[in-house]
Amino acid sequence: GQQLNQSPQSMFIQEGEDVSMNCTSSSIFNTWLWYKQDPGEGPVLLIALYKAGELTSNGRLTAQFGITRKDSFLNISASIPSDVGIYFCAGQPSYNFNKFYFGSGTKLNVKP
């Protein structure tokens, strides 16, 4: 079945540093979503991308839909302690518009 490869698996950074994580797939996707999940909560949508090459920002977060339509990245600038959590990418393949596949998550730890 379809797999999304999300990396890195975990990150330990200092407050104020920038962060970058990415997802790649073996299939062409028509939508990429990025979520943050805190313990015991559901994922919260951060950024949605619908076109190849699209670059979208949400405050200190920036995400891009790769031009090959097989990858996406999320950047967080000037990290703060409340950025701690697990970040998931999710993609909707072009051959199936009714489901999203999720990456395995990037666990972000921020040291004050």
Partner 1 sequence: ETGVTQSPTHLIKTRGQQVTLRCSSQSGHNTVSWYQQALGQGPQFIFQYYREEENGRGNFPPRFSGLQFPNYSSELNVNALELDDSALYLCASSLLRQGGNGNYGYTFGSGTRLTVV
Asked whether the beta carbons of 47 and 74 are under 8 A apart, the reply is yes
In the set 28, 44, 55, 78, which binds partner 1 (CB under 8 A)?
Answer: 44
In the set 7, 20, 27, 48, which binds partner 1 (CB under 8 A)?
Answer: 48
Q: DSSP secondary structure string, 65-108? A: E-TTSSEEEEEE-S--GGG-EEEEEEEEETT-TT--EE---EEE
Q: Is 102 in the site for partner 1 (CB under 8 A)?
A: yes
CA distance linking residue 38 with residue 90, whole number of Å? 16
CB of 60 to partner 1, least distance (A): 19
In the set 41, 59, 82, 112, which binds partner 1 (CB under 8 A)?
Answer: 41
3 closest CA partner among 64, 70, 52, 98: 70
Q: Is 30 in the site for partner 1 (CB under 8 A)?
A: yes
Rg (CA), the chain: 13
In the set 79, 105, 108, 110, which binds partner 1 (CB under 8 A)?
Answer: 105
> Which residues would be at the binding site for partner 1 (CB under 8 A)?
1, 4, 6, 30-31, 33, 35, 40-45, 48, 50, 88, 90, 92, 96-105
